[in-house]
Amino acid sequence: MKYLWVPLTLVALVFYSVGEYYSKTYVDTGRKSLAAIATLAYLVCTILWFPTLKNNNHLAIMSVIWSVAYALVGITIGLSVFQEKLTLIQWVGTALGVVAILLLSIEWH
C-alpha cells in the first residue's frame, strides 16, 4: 500500500485539529479539562507519525507536508472558528505553503 501515508496523515490532521481547537479554547477559558483533551489529541496525532513515516520513508518530504498541513489547519481554525485575521504577507505565506505541498507530493519521473 504505497500511499497509506495519505489517509494516515488525514487522520492525524483530524486529531491535530481537535488539539488546536481545545488548546485555544483552554487558553481562552482556563479549563484544565480542555488542556487534557488537547494533549490527548496531540498524542494520538504524534503516534500516527510513525506509521506515516514508515509508509512514505521520506523524512524531508513528510516533515514539510506535515508542517504545512499543520499550519493550514491552524489558520483555518483560527480564521473560521475564532475569527482571527491574517495580514497580506501571511496570506502569501499560506499560498506558498500549499504550493510546497503540491510540489512535494507529486512523483516526478
Mean pLDDT of 5-10: 92
**58-87 pLDDT tens trace:** 888 888 888 888 888 998 999 999 999 999
Number of neighbouring beta carbons within 10 Å of residue 58: 12
What distance, in Å, lies between the first and last C-alpha atoms of the chain? 19
pLDDT the model gives residue 41? 98
Q: Which domain holds residue 16?
A: 5-105
**22-44 pLDDT tens trace:** 999 999 999 999 999 999 999 99
Q: What is the dihedral of CA 47, 51, 56, 62, to 10 degrees?
A: 0
Q: How many residues does the chain have?
A: 109
pLDDT the model gives residue 66? 87
Number of compact structural domains in the chain: 1
Examine the pLDDT at 52 and tell me if it is beyond 80. Answer: yes
Q: Structure pTM?
A: 0.81
Residues in Cβ contact with 13 at an 8 Å cutoff, skipping those fewer than 6 apart: 45, 69, 70, 73
